[in-house]
Amino acid sequence: MTVATRARRVDGERLVSRVVALRRFIEIVDGTVPPERLAPARTVLERSGQRLSLSGDHTVVALAGATGSGKSSLFNKIAGLPLSPVGVRRPTTAVTHACTWGRSEPTTPLLDWLGVPTGQRFTRESALDGDDEAGLRGLVLLDLPDFDSVEEHHRIEVDRLLEQVDLVVWVLDPQKYADKVVHERYLKQFVSHREITVVLLNQSDRLAVTDVERVATDLRRLLDAGGLTGVPVLPTSAVGLPGSDDLRALLERTVTARQAALQRLAADVTVAAGELVPLVAVPASEADIDRASVRRLTDALADAAGVPTVVEATEQAYKHRAGAVTGWPLLQWVQRMRPDPLRRLHVQGGPGRPARPPTIGLLPRRRRASPELMAPTPATSLPGSTAAERAAVALAGRSIAERAAAGSQANRLPDPWPDAMLAAARSRLDDVPDTLDVAIARTDLGLAEQKLWWRVVGGLQWAAALVALTGLVWLAVRFVMSVLGLPDLPTPKAGILLVPTALLFGGLLFGLLLSIVVRPFVHFGAKRARRSADRKLRNAVSNIAMEMIVAPVRETLRSYANARDALAAATQ
């Protein structure tokens, strides 16, 4: 059975797209998922990038095993030359030896990457070989130090190379084939890499022919129990029967198929991606963040930002400003003496422009520059929010985050996403009060301009006042003339006092009646202005809630969904 035919063929392009998808996943979740959870996947990405950029024509096969199992002996036997010293002193091989077959592509970068010392690099196949070694062209065979060595640097070297090579050939011997360290510490780790694992029962010549079968079956059983089903078990010997022909044939088929490197990387990506699956295991909720939650947030923000105060002030300001224009002229000054409720809060009531000062009759009053009207960034003098209001905002923000983290089918999103949602909801919270304040100060409350009907009524008021004044002056002139004994003016006798008196009282009465008649209209207008201000301010607050709290949460939710898609693409 070949290594290549045991596994599904790995398509190089498909593998590259899986690697790209895994990289995308890491980019998306970077900063959200703790770095230590991503470290193994990052290592796999780095390694696969390097291996793919190096020779694709070569297959790197490592002979791994305990000391004295016969790795160097088999290495030399396959090479046909005594390249790696075989000894009785244990351990013998301290550094990795490499033998390369074929001269088609330089293997220096590959061997540099593998960290094989230059003194231990050999090239097999010379002109003298003819086509004898053709079957192994492309093989880079490594003789590793012992993995269970008393020398720690041997173990480190083996662990490093076992993560880099394309195929691992485990060399076991009849005495130690059942050794726990081999099975528990090493072979079990290759369960996901079964396609690139081969096990040899070396030194089989030491066993009776009938025992070889029995021991091989026992080894097979141990491997199956460890999850390594389907891994080839080959009895071999470096010095006698059954020899190493089966191993050589297996290596030839592996090298020809050129699949081992891709299978190794594909298995690495599968393992790395599989470890990350719990991070995005639950599908994100299909439903968007619901309107009710956004509304609760808007209400909480509106209360904290003092919207009800501004709404109340808008109604009062309407009455105040309308009264100052349409009221009885003799009492208008009283109205003007009172402070404007909106201006007292430093709310402009218009987009970036100051509220227009009240006019005297139809004429606009000379505008005076007051500091708050000239301020480049409007900011209200609304009282700061209370602790209870701030708590309500925090609670509403949390419920948006909770909603996003709810996931689908009543499954909460896995950690750390619920915390990430909460962090997103709070990410701009510090800027929210100022932004709200500016927005409220700039919201056009519809009071920037005087209403036309105010001006018409104001004009009538001033006309009536003029009539009354004419009557008053007339009466005054008459009075002075009669005191001085001057002759009467040429007017009909009956109208001597009637006309000026009628003018005076008619004018006054008309003005008074007019101010009484318009009062219900002013009240109606004030209520309307109140409703409109409430709507506009809540709109402005809602926009800020969406932009500064809901949008970051949605963005995080989108990242989660994208990360999930990327990992699914990396896993396939």
Q: Where are the alpha helices (DSSP H) in 306-431?
A: 307-326, 329-337, 341-344, 371-374, 387-405, 417-426
Q: How far apart are alpha carbons 95 and 84 in whole angstroms?
A: 10
Count the alpha carbons within 13 Å of 259 in the hemisphere toward its beta carbon.
21
The least distance separating Mg ion from the CB of residue 140, rounded to whole angstroms, comes to: 17
Closest CB to Mg ion among residues 93, 236 = 93
For residue 93, state whether it binds Mg ion (rule: CB under 5 A): yes
Q: How far is the CB of 267 from ligand GTP (least distance, A)?
A: 26
Per CB under 5 A, the segment of 25-33, 71-79, 127-135, 155-163 that binds Mg ion is 71-79
Binding segment toward Mg ion, per CB under 5 A, in 67-75, 103-111, 159-167, 556-564: 67-75
User: Would you count residue 92 as binding Mg ion (CB under 5 A)?
Assistant: yes
Q: Which two tokens stand for residue 352?
A: 């970036």
Stretch near Mg ion under the rule CB under 5 A, chosen from 86-94, 174-182, 221-229, 514-522: 86-94
Residue 202 binding partner per list Mg ion, ligand GTP, none, with a CB distance cut-off of 5 to 8 Å that depends on partner kind: ligand GTP
Which does residue 399 touch among ligand GTP, Mg ion, none (CB within 5 to 8 A, set by kind)? none
Q: 461 is in the binding site of which of Mg ion, ligand GTP, none (Cβ under 5 to 8 A by kind)? A: none
Binding region for Mg ion (CB under 5 A) out of 88-96, 293-301, 358-366, 556-564:
88-96
Q: Closest approach of Cβ 191 to Mg ion, in Å? A: 27
Residues sharing a CB contact under 8 Å with residue 92, sequence separation 6 or more, in sequence order: 67, 68, 72, 85, 86
Q: Which residue has the tokens 């089966």?
A: 246
Q: Which amino acid is at 444?
A: D
- What phi and psi values does residue 9 have, to the nearest 5 degrees? -65, 135
380 binds, among ligand GTP, Mg ion, none (CB under 5 to 8 A by kind): none
Which of Mg ion, ligand GTP, none lies near 206, with the C-beta cut-off 5 to 8 A by kind? Answer: ligand GTP
Helix (H, G, I), strand (E, B) or coil at 551: helix
User: From the centroid of its chain, how far is CA 135?
Assistant: 52
Tell me whether residue 92 or residue 197 sits nearer to Mg ion (CB atom): 92
Binding partner of 100, given ligand GTP, Mg ion, none, CB within 5-8 angstroms per partner class: none
Residue 120 binding Mg ion, by CB under 5 A: no
Query: In whole angstroms, what is the distance from residue 239 CA to residue 103 CA?
Result: 29
- How far is residue 401's CA from residue 557's CA, in Å, rounded to a whole number? 10
Interacting partner of 205 out of ligand GTP, Mg ion, none (Cβ under 5 to 8 A depending on kind): ligand GTP
Nearer to ligand GTP, 236 or 348 (CB): 236
Partner from ligand GTP, Mg ion, none binding residue 68, C-beta < 5-8 Å depending on class = ligand GTP
User: What backbone torsions phi and psi does residue 492 show, to the nearest 5 degrees?
Assistant: -60, 140
* Residue 60 beta carbon to ligand GTP: minimum distance, rounded to whole angstroms: 18
- Would you call 166 exposed, middle or buried from its count of C-beta atoms within 10 A (0-12, 13-18, 19+)? buried
Q: Which stretch binds Mg ion (CB under 5 A): 92-100, 200-208, 225-233, 469-477?
A: 92-100
For the CB of residue 232, give the shortest distance to ligand GTP in the complex, in Å: 18
- Cβ at position 240, least distance to ligand GTP in Å: 6
Which residues face 60 on adjacent strands?
140
Cα dihedral angle (38, 39, 45, 49), rounded to 10 degrees? 150
Nearer Cβ to ligand GTP, position 47 or 206? 206
72 belongs to the binding site for Mg ion (CB under 5 A):
yes
Residue 88 CB, nearest approach to ligand GTP (Å): 5
37 binds, among ligand GTP, Mg ion, none (CB under 5 to 8 A by kind): none
DSSP letters spanning 239-259: SSTT-SHHHHHHHHHHHHHT-
Task: Provide, rounded to whole angstroms, the least separation between the CB of residue 59 and ligand GTP.
Answer: 21
Which residues make Cβ contacts (< 8 Å) with residue 163, sequence separation at least 6?
Answer: 47
* Closest CB to ligand GTP among residues 89, 368: 89
Report in angstroms how near the CB of residue 69 gets to ligand GTP at its nearest: 4
Q: In angstroms, give the least distance from the CB of 173 to ligand GTP.
A: 8
CB 75 within 8 A of CB 141: yes
Q: Which spans of this chain sit near ligand GTP (rule: CB under 6 A)?
A: 65, 67-73, 86-88, 90-93, 145-146, 202-203, 205-206, 237-239
Residue 549, SS3 per DSSP: helix
447 DSSP 8-state letter: -
Binding partner of residue 203 among ligand GTP, Mg ion, none, CB cut-off 5 to 8 Å per kind: ligand GTP
Q: 177-203: buried (b, 16+ CB within 10 Å) or exposed (e) per residue?
A: bebeebbeebbeebeebbbbbbbbbbb
Nearer to Mg ion by C-beta: 65 or 511?
65
Which partner, ligand GTP, Mg ion, none, binds residue 73 by CB below 5 to 8 Å per kind? ligand GTP
Smallest separation (angstroms) from ligand GTP to the CB of 239 = 4
200 strand-pairing partners: 171, 234
Torsion over CA of 467, 473, 477 and 483, rounded to 10 degrees? 120
3-state secondary structure of 304: helix
Angle at 153 (CA atoms; ends 75, 270), nearest 5 degrees: 75
| Amino acid letter, 540 | A
Contact residues: Mg ion, CB under 5 A: 71-72, 92-93
